[in-house]
Every structure is written in C-alpha cells, then in structure tokens.
Structure 1
Amino acid sequence: HRGKATKKHRRGGLTSPGILYRGIGGTVLPDDIVEGLTRFRQPVKKGARIDVWWLYDDGGLTILIPYILTQRRQFSSASLRVFSLASSRGELEYEQRSMAALLSKFRIDCSDVVVIPDVQKKAGDDTRGDFDALIEPFKEKADESRGEGFYIPNEEHLTNKDKTNRQLRLRELLLEHSLDASFVIMTLPMPRKGMVSAPLYMAWLETLTKDMPPFLLVRGNQTSVLTFYS
C-alpha cells in the first residue's frame, strides 16, 4: 500500500534519502552513494574540521568561503585549520605568526595555522608512478593521430615538470595532514590556455582530490573580498 510504504520510509517526518535519490530508470542507488549525496544535509558532528589550503593570494576567497560555511548550521561546530606555503624554511616561524595575525585581523577564528616549508621537494617514487600511470593513455604517441587538446605533447610534459611535481607534493601533504578532515578547501591551480593541455590539467586535479574527503577547489580573481578595520 502506498500510504504504508511512504510512512515506513519516513524518519522524523522527512522522506528517506533512499526514496528521493534514484539512478537511471529509477534504480536504487547504493547506500554509500546516497550517503555521499546527503552528507551535508545534517550538521557535522562536534569536533569536525575544515582544512583550508590557502596556497596563493587570490584576494581571500579561499579563506572567506570556509569562514562563511562555519557561520551556517551545518558547519557551526566545525573548526578551521589553515595551511599556507613558506618561501623558505628559515622563515617558517615568522610566516606562521604573520598568517595567524592576518587571520586575527580579519576576525577569522581557526584552531591551527600550519606553514608547509618543503612543497618543492621531489615527490616520492610511488606518487610519481601513480601519476605516470594516470596520464599514460593521454601521452603523445608517434603512431597515433589525435586532435590537438586530446593528448599531452611530450614537450609540454617536460616543460611543466616542476609544476607537476608541485601537485604531486601537495598530494602527499594532503594525505599526510587532511585525510581525516570533514571537508577540504584548496586554492585551484591556475589553468593557462596554451600552456597546459586539458588532459594534463585534469590529471593534476584528479591527483589532488582522489580518495580524499569532500573537496572544493576555488580561486578568486585577486580582487580583495576581505576587509578589516584598524
């Protein structure tokens, strides 16, 4: 009976997510997919943490969005932890104090500020091996004829070697620090048309976000969105 079925799947007056979300042709979605779709419908648990990787000066959008989220019911109990990059290991403590002072000036509360000193370090063999396997189908091959933009030219791959290593190191740092976060927000790597092909750029993004908690990549246009009063 329809009335009984509806009542059976109600929880606290709300229809069960399994009833609301269906696949193609009305097929039942697996529980883990439904859980992912409805993850933020309820407030996060006490002790939840949003990790913010503020890697570039983008006008402050990368830090503003997570701050706004913590002002909403779903994330009101979550704390912010902010990561930034150090220009040199010798200035690590100074840059950490400077970042903490900057956030305080903008009245953004955070539980911790972490300054990463070694993002330029060579990525590990396993990380590089995983990335090479990821881009292998998209590498330029002499015996194939594919339209421009559908493969990674060998010259481009070599030219962007340092940028690729940066993304791989960030991947390692994300796994080290943010695998247990409730939400990760990171500054989006800048895509430059004509400099980085679509397959290589998307491989960077896949490398950063694969098997991580919910992940948001965001980048402002360097127009300041943060203000403070002295």
Structure 2
Amino acid sequence: MEQRSMANLLAKFRIDYSDVIVIPDVAKKAQESSKLAFDQLIEDFKAPGEISEEDEGVLISEAELLGQREKTNRHIRLKELLVENSKDSSLIVMTLPMPRKTSVSAPLYMAWLDTLTSDLPPFILIRGNQTSVLTYYS
C-alpha cells in the first residue's frame, strides 16, 4: 500500500523512478559495530564530566547523549540502510535532518551528518525554509 502511494506521488510530480522500496524497520536498533564507529567519531568531543557554561554547545555531555539516544540510533540506522540500499548509486539526495537549535550541540549534530554521509557516493542534503512551494490535489 505505501509503495503504491509513493509511486502515485512520484508520478504526479513527474519524477522518473525505476523502483520504489519502502523500508519498514528504520526504528530497529543499529548494529553494535555501527554504534562503536559512532562512539569513536564523537570520542574527542565528549565532556569528561560536567560542562561549564563556556563549553556548552562545544562539547557533548553524557546527559545530551542519553537525551538524544533515540535520534542518534535513528541516524546510525539510516546510515546502515543507506549502505545497504544506495552504496552503488550515482547520487544520494536526502532531506537534511534539522534539530531544534537549543536541543542538540554542534558536535553531536555534525557527528550525525558525518555518520549519514561518510563513505558513500556523492550526497546532497537539502532543506527548505518551511514554505510550501508545491501544491497537488489527490
């Protein structure tokens, strides 16, 4: 059903496609090896203890990692799915994940982006300004 709906939507916007693959298990836990790679990526940015006001937003606290655990797992899992489904693509286009400004530190956000895009074909992350520019009638 989802596959047919997506195919219809692509056809309405005259987007040519060869196959529509619906991925149902995005929320599944990421593999341990992927989690370890992410932990290595952020190792230099983890705060050793409490974060001072001066270091807030520059270092990643344990509290932030715990609070963002689900989103972090989602980004790591998306990377696994990208490798599985798009490693041989000529170009990958994906919506830029946008966090709330005060909820995620810069190093954690950049680690998410690095995790998503590293070791893959050319990658475009796109994001609008929240203004709808397409109108379609179903």
| TM-score (ref. length: structure 2) | 0.91
Percent identity at matched positions? 64
**Contact 2:95/2:125 (CA < 8 Å) preserved in 1?**
yes
Letter in 2 for 1:202: M
Measured after TM superposition, the shift of residue 112 of structure 1 is 1.3
Secondary structure of the corresponding residue to residue 206 of structure 1: helix
Within the candidate set 188, 208, 211, 2:119 is matched to 211
**Contact 2:51/2:59 (CA < 8 Å) preserved in 1?**
no
Structure (1 or 2) with the greater strand fraction:
1
Matching of residues 1-230 of structure 1 within 5 Å? 94-142=1-49, 147-228=55-136
**Contact 2:75/2:112 (CA < 8 Å) preserved in 1?**
yes
Aligned residues: 137
**Contact 1:106/1:227 (CA < 8 Å) preserved in 2?**
no
Taking a change above 3 Å as real, the CA distance of residues 142 and 129 of structure 1, as seen in their structure-2 partners, is same
Structure 2 unaligned regions, length at least 5 = none
Measured after TM superposition, the shift of residue 143 of structure 1 is 8.2
Structure 1 unaligned regions, length at least 5 = 1-93
Whole-angstrom CA distance in 1 between matches of 2:32 and 2:106? 24
Measured after TM superposition, the shift of residue 178 of structure 1 is 0.7
> For residue 19 of structure 1, what is the aligned residue in structure 2?
none
**Contact 1:106/1:226 (CA < 8 Å) preserved in 2?**
no
Taking a change above 3 Å as real, the CA distance of residues 142 and 222 of structure 1, as seen in their structure-2 partners, is closer
Taking a change above 3 Å as real, the CA distance of residues 224 and 140 of structure 1, as seen in their structure-2 partners, is same
Whole-angstrom CA distance in 2 between matches of 1:175 and 1:229? 34
Q: Which structure has the greater CA radius of gyration?
A: 1
Measured after TM superposition, the shift of residue 144 of structure 1 is 8.0
Whole-angstrom CA distance in 2 between matches of 1:142 and 1:99? 47
Measured after TM superposition, the shift of residue 110 of structure 1 is 1.2
Structure 1 runs of 4+ aligned residues shifted over 3 Å read 143-146, 227-230
